């Protein structure tokens, strides 16, 4: 008998699950219901579309519903909102947003991939035109339309995390002055202090205004459009605002079902990407928690990389092939002007608060021979556990060569390799790419001496 698989959500987690399951078991009857008009959207590219590096919005998504059906054999229903899940009857209630009709669909297997929604400031003036979030495809299209139809000289960016800083670069490329308003003492607050210091130095060098320890209290407007941000630290004139203050899991549909959740509403999942306690319910993407490989605890790491791994794991298991995703080292990277900035594992503060006996070093080292183009310094902070001699975390910032070196440390963390076993790893060397002792090896050997 055919199995009915219902997938709620058609972005990274949902489409990955559908494609994997259908490939392994073509007899599965799989339906994806997505409330938005677009599926398989690459939201990580949004800042670069705003900045003009991506010229066509169609390049922001990988499939349309038609191409997904033609290539993957899965039906996709866009503008269809699942409004209710009945676990006892194994059915969902779906609203067709095009004509406001309702219908039920039965399932044998359910994949919850509802994603997340942006956190919006609840302040006076939020209804003014020219104030945006940056989470969905519609958001980035509306931002570009507003920029094309209005004279934008200065943009307020509320929140100085990775996305906010990527926007800083991209607005600057267009000759638009960014003003970053951050309520915490520093931007990029999830990074180690030594890395933040280098970020601040780069922003200062580029003449970027970062207002920290400051909370937006009200949006001021003229003729229905935002014209300023009133804060507890003064008023800042702007022509547009983009809020990048975080996201939270889109848990409305499942929050009352009794499924185990993190405090923010993300679903607990096991290594098969199943919702904890259920063999026929899976969760993937920004609505799902994931095991932290260092602490061993359920964590929240809403990136496209996580969503794709969870989705594929879910799909493989649904398709009949046992697969496990053991968890995340929380590897991440972003670009800020000429700098690559990234980290993997825990920060020093996180390591200490998690109960590890922490040893940390920070070094400024050459990324390659100084005679070659883009030679420069990479700042590396490496954190280890004194008891096990394992790496707990690594952060880097530099002109070139950060990302792949971080991949090395992600592997060392994932497979719990002691520092002594890593100090003589056979790393590639040629003067255009590294020094004879690569900075990764130098940092490992230096940390060993501190143990």
Q: Phi-psi bin for 175: left (phi > 0), alpha (psi -120 to 50), beta?
A: left
What is the C-alpha separation between 66 and 15, in angstroms, rounded?
Answer: 13
Beta strands in 4-100 (DSSP E): 4-8, 29-34, 75-78, 80-86, 91-96
* Residue 35 DSSP class: S
Residue 394 a catalytic site member: no
CB 241 within 8 A of CB 156: yes
**Measured at the alpha carbon of residue 163, what is the angle toward residues 162 and 166, in degrees to the nearest 5?**
90
Nearest Cα neighbor of 6 from 74, 60, 71 is 74
Q: Phi-psi bin for 207: left (phi > 0), alpha (psi -120 to 50), beta?
A: left
Those residues with Cβ within 8 angstroms of residue 267's Cβ, 6 or more apart along the chain or in another chain: 112, 249, 251, 254, 259, 260, 261, 275, 276, 283, 287, 288, 289
Q: Which residues pair with 275 in a beta bridge?
A: 269
Pairing relation of β-strands 177-181 and 209-211? parallel
What is the C-alpha separation between 299 and 286, in angstroms, rounded?
Answer: 11
Q: What tokens does 317 get?
A: 């298991």
Those residues with Cβ within 8 angstroms of residue 422's Cβ, 6 or more apart along the chain or in another chain: 391, 412, 444
What is the number of other CB atoms lying within 10 angstroms of the CB of residue 144? 15
* Residue 275 DSSP class: B
- Positive or negative torsion for Cα 235, 236, 241, 245: negative
Those residues with Cβ within 8 angstroms of residue 348's Cβ, 6 or more apart along the chain or in another chain: 192, 358, 360, 381, 383, 393
Write down the catalytic residue from 44, 91, 287, 394: 44
Buried b (16+ CB within 10 A) or exposed e, 339-358: bbbbbbbbbbebbeebebeb
Positions annotated as catalytic residues are 44
């Amino acid at each position: 008998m055919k199995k009915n698989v219902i997938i709620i959500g058609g972005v990274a987690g949902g489409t990955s699950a559908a494609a994997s399951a259908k490939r392994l078991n073509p007899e599965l009857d799989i339906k994806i219901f997505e409330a938005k008009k677009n599926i398989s959207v690459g939201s990580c590219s949004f800042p670069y579309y705003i900045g003009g590096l991506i010229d066509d919005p169609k390049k922001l998504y990988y499939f349309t519903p038609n191409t997904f059906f033609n290539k993957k054999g899965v039906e996709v229903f866009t503008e269809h909102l699942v409004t209710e899940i009945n676990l006892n009857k194994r059915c969902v209630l779906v609203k067709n947003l095009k004509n406001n009709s309702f219908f039920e669909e039965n399932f044998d297997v359910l994949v919850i991939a509802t994603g997340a929604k942006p956190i919006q400031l609840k302040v006076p003036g939020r209804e003014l035109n020219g104030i945006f979030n940056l989470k969905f495809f519609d958001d980035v299209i509306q931002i570009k339309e507003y920029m094309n139809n209005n004279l934008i000289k200065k943009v307020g960016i509320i929140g100085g995390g990775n996305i906010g800083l990527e926007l800083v670069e991209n607005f600057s490329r267009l000759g638009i002055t960014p003003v970053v308003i951050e309520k915490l003492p520093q931007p990029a607050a999830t990074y180690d202090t030594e890395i933040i210091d280098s970020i601040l130095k780069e922003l200062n060098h580029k003449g970027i205004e970062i207002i920290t320890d400051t909370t937006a209290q009200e949006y001021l407007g003229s003729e229905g459009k935002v014209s300023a941000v009133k804060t507890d630290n003064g008023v800042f004139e702007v022509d547009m605002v983009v809020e990048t203050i975080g996201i939270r899991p889109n848990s409305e549909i499942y929050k009352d079902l009794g499924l185990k959740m993190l405090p923010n509403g993300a679903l607990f999942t096991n290594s098969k990407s199943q919702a904890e306690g259920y063999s026929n319910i899976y969760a993937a993407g920004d609505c799902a928690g994931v095991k932290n490989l260092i602490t061993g605890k359920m964590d929240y790491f809403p990136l496209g990389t996580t969503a794709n791994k969870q989705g594929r794991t879910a799909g493989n298991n649904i398709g009949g092939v046992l697969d496990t995703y053991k968890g995340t080292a929380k590897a991440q990277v972003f670009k800020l002007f000429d700098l690559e900035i990234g980290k993997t594992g825990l920060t020093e503060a996180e390591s200490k608060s998690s109960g590890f006996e922490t040893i940390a070093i920070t070094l400024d080292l050459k990324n390659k021979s100084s005679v070659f183009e883009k030679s420069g310094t990479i700042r590396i902070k490496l954190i280890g556990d004194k008891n096990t001699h394992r790496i707990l975390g690594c952060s880097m910032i530099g002109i070139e060569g950060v990302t792949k070196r971080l991949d090395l440390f992600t592997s060392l963390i994932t497979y719990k390799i002691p520092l002594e076993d890593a100090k003589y790893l056979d790393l590639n060397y040629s003067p255009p790419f590294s020094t004879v002792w690569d900075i990764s090896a130098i940092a490992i050997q230096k940390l060993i001496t501190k143990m």
